[in-house]
Amino acid sequence: MSTVAPGVEPPPEVVDSRTVRRAVDDLREGFRQHELWLLLGWQDIKQRYRRSMLGPLWITVATAVTAVAMGFLYAELFHIDIKTFLPHVTLGLIFWNFISQSILEGSVVFSSNEGLLKQIPAPLSVHVYRLVWRQLIIFAHNIVIYVVMFAIFPQPISWTILLVIPGIMLLALNAVWVTIVFGVMSTRFRDIGQLLNTLVQLVFFLTPIIWTADSIRQRTNGGDYRLTLVQLNPMYHFLEITRGPLVGSPISWHSWVVVVGCTVAGWALAMLVLRNYRARVAYWV
């Protein structure tokens, strides 16, 4: 039975923003505004290289110079055939740049867009999709280096090369949840961004990018604890499912299980963070 007096309007219904449905709606509505984040992502690339002669091609040039220099240097130090090691290092750097920049730029995605967050009533996910799209554009520029490398050092090609497609899709899916989680957390606790910078540099040296896991297997006959530590690093498995098909290396099913597991667990955490703190981000920035 209603307790509202006749002629008096009932109080407005209180809407709880901390629901999974509101979080899902944010992701869905942000994706629907694809024209906005596609344009903003491309404008970010153009603005970064504005007034330069090569423009966005500087992305490719910088990555190529780094890959070639490190490839020749470490191939000489580790006594590895340059024909196999240079593509290994090049692809490792290309995919690592996508992963690391998604983490580092994702941690400041909301604080760096403070003006847009406060002035434009758009879903938070618009800024997330914008960042991931920008990283995909940079990746597309860098993958050209592999095409040139493949022409110089031909690799055996088989149908397994198509496995790189689901590998890149999983990378993009993980980049979205990473941006959501670290972006929201870093907005509330600014020290997290500095911590991530240190951790990313550390993980770079712990991941087989400028060195190979095969070198450890050959030296220890596959039974050393160091090989186990390498396989405990999730970044190793992300590189395996993306770099492996392009260099003709077999991919263990274990790597796919680890990557899919990280994706599921990460998205569960992202939904929790988005559900509980989505409405507070505009106040924290």
* Distances 255 to 214, 241, 259 between C-alpha atoms, Å: 16, 7, 6
Structure tokens at 230: 């390498």
> At residue 247, what are phi and psi to the nearest 5 degrees?
-110, 5
Q: What is the pLDDT of residues 246-275, one digit of tens each?
A: 888 888 889 999 999 999 999 999 999 998
**Alpha helix segments (H runs only) across 79-206:** 82-106, 114-119, 124-152, 164-188, 191-206
CA dihedral 82, 87, 89, 93 (to 10 degrees): 160
The amino acid at 186: S
pLDDT at 6: 58
pLDDT at 223: 57
pLDDT at 250: 81
CA dist 94 and 238 (Å) reads 12
With b for 16 or more beta-carbon neighbours within 10 A and e for fewer, the 201-217 pattern comes to eebbeebbbbbbbeebe
CB neighbourhood size of 163 (10 A): 17
DSSP 252: -
Q: What is the pLDDT of residues 6-32, one digit of tens each?
A: 555 555 544 555 778 888 888 999 999
pTM: 0.86
Q: What is the pLDDT of residues 187-227, one digit of tens each?
A: 888 888 889 999 999 999 989 998 888 777 766 665 566 77
Residue closest to 161 by CA, chosen among 249, 278, 229: 249
CA dist 175 and 262 (Å) reads 11
